[in-house]
Chain A
Amino acid sequence: MRKIAEILIILLLGFFLIAEGDLLKPLPPAELKNYFVEKGVKQTGAINLVSSIYLTYRAFDTLGETIVLLLAVSGVIMLFEARK
């Protein structure tokens, strides 16, 4: 019974995705991607484009990621210290 329900939900989601046209739409414009590929190495000086993007263009996002890790560590410490 549960498997049939799961299959039905997946089919329904797929139907909505196709009906709304998300899968049929053309890809978003590639201007930003081309900008990073062309000018990223010259502007940041790093050959590895991934790190040049996540530490210079998107460094604020990386700050958020480190906050997430800090919160995770403090949550674990809080849970395990409180049990004593």
Chain B
Amino acid sequence: MRESEIVDMISRKLSPYILLFALYLISYGHLSPGGGFQGGVVLASGVILLCLARGEGFVKRKLPPKALSLVETGMFFIFILMGLAGLLIGGYFLENFFLPGKIEKVPTESFIFFLNLVIGLKVGAGITLICFYILKQEET
């Protein structure tokens, strides 16, 4: 199964496009259907496709689980920091601090864009991490 030429080729050609589509979903979340959670799951599915086709040792060399858990917790930390920045600038926790009166010359929707980016990376790292552990358990 692991040696199949077709599965190997298709997964290697397809997964970059899945990752690109995930970035599209995340970064256009405020304009079109999509957003952080959906884009993050698609981001994870691109990595899982490589995991299933080539074994998770191949992927773990590029994406060590320690780095993924660092991304997961770090993005959660940044989420809370953005909430605290809203508390400082806007007066409420997680307040949109790019409001027209508060900071000039920054479009209002950039708050949604940054939160989508943070949530997308966090969800992608988290679900990839879960799948790493589950796939590893199956092989032993």
**Contact mask for chain A residues 18-40; partner B; CB cutoff 8 A; 1 contact, 0 none:** 00000000000000000000000
Residue from A44, A48, A55, A72 within 8 A of B31 (CB atoms): A48
Q: Is A63 an interface residue (CB 8 A)?
A: yes
Listed by A's residue number, 11 A-B pairs whose Cβ atoms lie within 8 Å are A45-B108, A47-B31, A50-B35, A51-B29, A52-B30, A55-B112, A63-B79, A63-B80, A66-B119, A70-B76, A80-B136
Binding site for A on B (CB under 8 A): 29-37, 69, 72-73, 76, 79-80, 83, 93-94, 96, 107-109, 111-112, 115-116, 119, 122-123, 126, 129-130, 133-134, 136-137
A69 CA to B83 CA, complexed, in Å: 18
A48/B108 in contact, CB under 8 A: no
A21 CA to B107 CA, complexed, in Å: 47
> Cβ of A72: which chain B residues have Cβ within 8 Å of it?
126, 130
Interface pairs A-B: 10 shortest CB-CB: A45-B108, A45-B109, A46-B30, A59-B94, A80-B133, A73-B126, A46-B109, A55-B112, A51-B35, A55-B115
Q: Is the interface of B mostly helix, strand, loop or mixed?
A: helix
A63/B94 in contact, CB under 8 A: yes
Binding site for B on A (CB under 8 A): 43-48, 50-52, 54-56, 59-60, 62-63, 65-67, 69-70, 72-73, 76-77, 80, 83
A30 to chain B minimum Cβ distance, whole angstroms, is 23
Known A44-B96, A51-B29, A51-B112; judge A73-B129 contact (CB<8 A): yes
Residue from B31, B33, B96, B137 within 8 A of A56 (CB atoms): B96
